[in-house]
């Protein structure tokens, strides 16, 4: 029996919807928390209360939760050409314009763009392109893919196999064969006693090399990484990490795919996370802030090497047999293109850099709070570690549900937080102002204080 009135949205939700990342049994009791509308960095719940969205939804609502201008572009595009596809040589101008724009702003030279609807589809497509490429150049045995433990790369069958989170594989017989996971480069949690950050990065690169050698370098097709690990808990790469990792990849001729689904379009204080951390990938997947999350659209950028392999396969096989009905949707492409124009007009990357010190300082100041073990961030992304003991870095026992308590207290103070295990991952809308960052930090501090009091 539900405690909600029959025909209330809550009761209808319980009776009809399946929610991702939700305990399905518990949801029958708790029901949903319904979001009625959004404006700027706030969303409004069903009692009309405004909450600061500390995670921009799912790391994506870069411009906040509504836009007249993007709504107008969607409307006008839909009236002109409500749908068309890119199959069999067909095209549409919004898709052409968007592909051109993405190539012009890519962090390393890229040759072509494939459009899809989601980050998962982008990573699934990139997995197939790795296989397609190595087949094209006569090395079909280079099929295995390496990503990192605790990484999140999506929920498609291939992208979830890249994902390094056991809960996404449980009861599914996943990951698929040939999807391997190397060490989680989380310095705060996984360092050895006395190990410097640079030494830790060296050990991570050695672990990668050992995995490659154990599997046979001739069988490894590509390595996958986000510049900052979002779903891993907003974990920044340790000092020198990507330099060392990329040296290993070059040594064994392994392709590098950068997942910019979260980091792309300003999040780390540059247009791309690759620029912030010196990544030189062969392919880039991006989504989310590409359209300010206002339309479902993603992209895979491929470099000349991959593109030449694809062309060679067309010479052999004919048409490139891969695609999605809504890939290159003119409405989504037009909204994405307008989003990128808005970013330029408002100087979004400069804005992120301007507010970054306030973000790092305001949240960094909470390191002195008894519940906070660490905070690290860059641009407008950061992770805060919740600990029971600052010295030993011990976590609270799960039965105390400290993340759940902090989350509930934060909501009472008007703040929506995103927890990844015992970490709070911050990624507010990129348009957040200094004053709003200070308010976010104030509400968080109040929630931490309440929780510390509850824990006695």
**What is the DSSP code string of 83-111?**
----GGG---HHHHHHHHHHHHH-SS---
Q: Is 385 in the site for ligand PLP (CB under 6 A)?
A: no
CB 24 within 8 A of CB 18: yes
Contact residue for ligand PLP among 11, 35, 50, 58 (CB under 6 A): 58
Q: Is 291 in the site for ligand PLP (CB under 6 A)?
A: no
Contact residue for ligand PLP among 54, 107, 154, 403 (CB under 6 A): 154
Q: Is 120 in the site for ligand PLP (CB under 6 A)?
A: yes
Contact residue for ligand PLP among 56, 63, 234, 261 (CB under 6 A): 261
150 three-state secondary structure: coil
Contact residue for ligand PLP among 129, 287, 380, 381 (CB under 6 A): 287
The residue (of 229 and 371) whose beta carbon lies closer to ligand PLP is: 229
The residue (of 156 and 269) whose beta carbon lies closer to ligand PLP is: 156
Cα-to-chain-centroid distance, residue 32:
24
The residue (of 10 and 329) whose beta carbon lies closer to ligand PLP is: 329
148 three-state secondary structure: strand
Q: Which residues are registered as beta bridge partners of 44?
A: 37, 50
Q: Is 419 in the site for ligand PLP (CB under 6 A)?
A: no
Query: Binding pattern to ligand PLP, positions 224-243, x when CB under 6 A?
Result: --x---xx------------
CB 203 within 8 A of CB 239: no
Terminus-to-terminus CA distance in the chain, angstroms? 35
Contact residue for ligand PLP among 116, 118, 270, 436 (CB under 6 A): 118
Contact residue for ligand PLP among 152, 326, 359, 426 (CB under 6 A): 152
Q: Helix axis angle, 197-215 relative to 241-251, nearest 10°?
A: 20
Q: Minimal distance in Å, beta carbon 121 to ligand PLP?
A: 7
The residue (of 113 and 441) whose beta carbon lies closer to ligand PLP is: 113
Q: Is 259 in the site for ligand PLP (CB under 6 A)?
A: yes
Give the max Cα distance, the chain: 70
> In this structure, are strands 42-45 and 50-53 parallel, antiparallel, or unpaired?
antiparallel
Location of structure tokens 């008007």:
414
The residue (of 158 and 402) whose beta carbon lies closer to ligand PLP is: 158
Residues touching ligand PLP, count (CB under 6 A): 15
- Of 283, 448, 259, give the one whose Cα is nearest residue 370: 448
> In this structure, are strands 220-225 and 423-426 parallel, antiparallel, or unpaired?
unpaired
The answer, yes or no, to whether the previous bond of 26 is cis (omega within 30 of 0) is no
Q: Is 267 in the site for ligand PLP (CB under 6 A)?
A: no
- Closest-CB residue for ligand PLP? 119
CB 90 within 8 A of CB 268: no
Q: Minimal distance in Å, beta carbon 27 to ligand PLP?
A: 20
Residues forming the site for ligand PLP (CB under 6 A):
58, 118-120, 123, 152-154, 226, 230-231, 259, 261-262, 287
């Amino acid at each position: 029996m539900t405690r909600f009135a029959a025909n209330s949205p809550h009761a209808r939700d319980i009776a009809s919807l399946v929610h991702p990342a939700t305990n399905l049994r518990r949801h029958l009791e708790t029901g949903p928390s319904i979001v009625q509308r959004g404006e700027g960095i706030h969303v409004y719940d069903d009692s009309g209360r405004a909450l600061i969205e500390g995670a921009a939804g799912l790391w994506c609502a870069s411009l906040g939760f509504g836009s007249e201008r993007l709504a107008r572009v969607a409307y006008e595009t839909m009236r002109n050409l409500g749908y068309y596809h890119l199959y069999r040589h067909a095209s549409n101008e919004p898709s052409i314009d968007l592909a051109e724009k993405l190539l012009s702003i890519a962090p390393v030279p890229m040759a072509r763009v494939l459009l899809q609807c989601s980050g998962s589809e982008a990573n699934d497509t990139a997995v197939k392109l790795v296989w397609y490429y190595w087949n094209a150049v006569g090395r079909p045995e280079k099929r295995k893919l390496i990503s990192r433990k605790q990484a999140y790369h999506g929920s498609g069958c291939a992208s979830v196999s890249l994902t390094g989170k056991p809960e996404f594989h449980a009861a599914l017989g996943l990951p698929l064969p040939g999807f391997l996971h190397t060490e989680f480069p989380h310095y705060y949690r996984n360092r050895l006693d006395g190990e410097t950050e640079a030494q830790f990065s060296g050990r991570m690169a050695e672990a990668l090399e050992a995995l490659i050698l154990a599997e046979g370098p001739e069988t490894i097709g590509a390595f996958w990484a986000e510049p900052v690990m979002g779903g891993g808990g907003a974990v920044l790469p340790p000092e020198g990490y990507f330099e060392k990792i990329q040296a290993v990849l070059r040594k064994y001729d392994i392709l590098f795919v950068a997942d910019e689904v979260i980091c792309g379009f300003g999040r780390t204080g540059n247009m791309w996370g690759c620029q912030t951390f010196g990544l030189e990938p062969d392919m880039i997947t991006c989504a989310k802030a590409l359209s300010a999350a206002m339309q479902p659209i993603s992209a895979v950028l491929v470099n000349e090497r991959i593109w030449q392999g694809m062309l060679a396969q067309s010479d052999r096989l004919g048409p490139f047999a891969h695609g999605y009905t809504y890939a290159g949707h003119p409405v989504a492409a037009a909204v994405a293109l307008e989003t990128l124009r808005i970013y330029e007009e408002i100087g979004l990357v400069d804005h992120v850099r301007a507010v970054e010190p306030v973000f790092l300082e305001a949240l960094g100041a909470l390191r002195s709070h008894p519940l906070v073990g660490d905070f690290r961030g860059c641009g407008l992304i950061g992770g805060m570690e919740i600990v029971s003991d600052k010295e030993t870095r011990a976590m609270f026992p799960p039965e105390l549900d400290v993340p759940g308590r902090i989350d509930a207290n934060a909501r009472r103070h008007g703040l929506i937080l995103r927890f990844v295990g015992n970490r709070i991952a911050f990624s507010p809308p990129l348009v957040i102002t200094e004053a709003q960052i200070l308010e976010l930090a104030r509400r968080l501090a109040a929630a931490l204080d309440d929780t510390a009091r509850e824990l006695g």
